[in-house]
Every structure is written in C-alpha cells, then in structure tokens.
C-alpha cells in the first residue's frame, strides 16, 4: 500500500499541474510569437508527463511510467525540436496573427472551460485524482479546438492540434485508474508522431507551393 502522505500530496499535485497545463494553454492563446508557442507547448507536455509520472508513482504502475517517458521524449524533446527545425527551414519568424484579439479569445476560453466543468459535473469520477482533472482535460480540448480555429498559420494549427492531443492524454492518464493498456498507449504515441511528421511534410510542401503558410490562402476549393 502507498503511504497516505504521498497520496495526499499527489492528490494535491495532480490537479495543480493540470491547472498549470490549462494556464499554459491560455498563455498559448494569448501569445503571438511562433517559437514561444512551441516552447509553451513543450512546457505543457512536460507537465503532462509529470502528471503521468505521479500517477505511475502512486500506483507504481510500470506501464504508466512508459507513458511518462514516451511523452517526455516525444512531446517535450522530439516534437519541439522538429517544429523548431521546420520553422528555421522555411524561415518564418513573423508572429502569428489570430482572427480574434486576445481579450475576446480569453473570454471565449473562459466560457469553454465553464462548459467543460458543467459537462463533467454529472459523474464524479472513480477516485480522488479524477474529477476536476477531467474537467480540465475537457477544457484543454475545447480551448485547443478554439485555438485551432483562431489561428491561420499552418504550423500554429499543428500546435493547437497537439495541445488537443495533450488534453486527451491528460484525460487518459487521470481518468483511468492505471492509464490505458500499453499497446493502446504505444499505438496512440506512434500515431501522434507520424501525424506530426505527415503534417510537417504537408506544411513544407504548402510552403513550397504557396510561398506562405497562411491557411487563409487555402480557399480555392469551393461548392
């Protein structure tokens, strides 16, 4: 059995970190510099892997450690590096221009967070870690979704997609007693990696063909 103290601590820590993830998300939304965005995403992923680690430590569930490690390697190290590289490769430094300005997007995100809470209210989760973590996960997902809508640059959309992914993973880690079965975790992980690579390839090609990454330019297919 686990010493109660750690459990108490972790039951404090996990929601905290989750909330931090949400904060980072909000920063992402407010933030305009592309490179900073990537760093923020890295931080968020770091928090995620941290949560995974804590969960793993709590239940000393070995395969959740694997998740933590994979997340760290993949989302904290590899992807940011890849994206940075891409950014340098296709020299774009000018900041991203959102459709909505920061304050109004903030308001919307607040509303979405509320929605997340209200939706997850009905079922109190399995044990002490879960409940509002789930709400946060949902909030992450919705805000990430909004972020995706709100950004024009192809790369930032990729980032937004990844934050959505983070939200889902948070749910996966926090909600289920011991995370998902390993095979699933692996599958998901590699899918995400491949997805990012495919996206990278497309971004690269788009850059080549359109001399820009502004997806606003991709509106030729109508009707």
Size of interface with another protein, in residues (CB under 8 A): 57
Among 32, 101, 149, 211, binds another protein (CB under 8 A): 149
Among 6, 12, 62, 177, binds another protein (CB under 8 A): 177
Q: Does 109 bind another protein (CB under 8 A)?
A: no
Per CB under 8 A, which region of 1-9, 65-73, 78-86, 169-177 contacts another protein? 169-177
Q: Is 201 exposed, middle or buried (0-12, 13-18, 19+ CB in 10 A)?
A: exposed
Q: Does 201 bind another protein (CB under 8 A)?
A: yes
Q: How far is the CB of 161 from another protein (least distance, A)?
A: 6
Q: Does 178 bind another protein (CB under 8 A)?
A: yes
Each residue 61-100 as x (binds another protein by CB under 8 A) or -, in order, gives --------------------------------------x-
Q: Does 176 bind another protein (CB under 8 A)?
A: yes
Q: Does 114 bind another protein (CB under 8 A)?
A: no
For the packed helices 4-30 and 102-120, what is the interaxial angle rounded to 10 degrees? 140
Q: Which two tokens stand for residue 7?
A: 């459990």
Per CB under 8 A, which region of 3-11, 68-76, 77-85, 160-168 contacts another protein? 160-168
Q: Residue numbers of the site for another protein (CB under 8 A)?
A: 99, 115, 118-119, 121-123, 125-127, 137, 141-142, 145-146, 148-149, 152, 154, 157, 161, 164-165, 167-168, 171-172, 175-178, 180-181, 183-184, 187-188, 190-191, 194-195, 198-199, 201-202, 205-206, 209-210, 215-216, 218-223
């Amino acid at each position: 059995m686990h010493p109660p103290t750690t459990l108490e601590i972790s039951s404090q820590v996990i929601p905290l970190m989750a909330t931090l993830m949400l904060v980072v998300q909000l920063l992402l939304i407010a933030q305009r510099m592309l490179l900073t965005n990537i760093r923020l995403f890295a931080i968020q992923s770091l928090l995620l892997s941290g949560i995974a680690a804590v969960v793993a430590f709590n239940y000393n569930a070995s395969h959740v450690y694997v998740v933590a490690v994979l997340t760290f390697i993949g989302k904290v190290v590899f992807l940011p590096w890849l994206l940075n590289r891409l950014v340098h490769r296709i020299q774009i430094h000018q900041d991203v221009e959102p459709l909505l300005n920061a304050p109004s997007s903030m308001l919307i995100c607040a509303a979405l967070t509320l929605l997340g809470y209200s939706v997850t209210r009905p079922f109190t989760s399995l044990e002490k870690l879960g409940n509002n973590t789930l709400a946060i996960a949902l909030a992450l997902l919705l805000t990430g979704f909004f972020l995706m809508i709100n950004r024009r640059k192809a790369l930032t959309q990729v980032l937004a997609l990844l934050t959505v992914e983070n939200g889902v993973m948070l749910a996966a880690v926090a909600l289920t007693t011991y995370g998902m079965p390993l095979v699933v975790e692996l599958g998901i992980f590699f899918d995400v990696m491949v997805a990012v690579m495919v996206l990278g390839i497309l971004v690269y090609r788009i850059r080549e063909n359109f001399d820009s990454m502004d997806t606003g330019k991709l509106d030729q297919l109508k009707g």
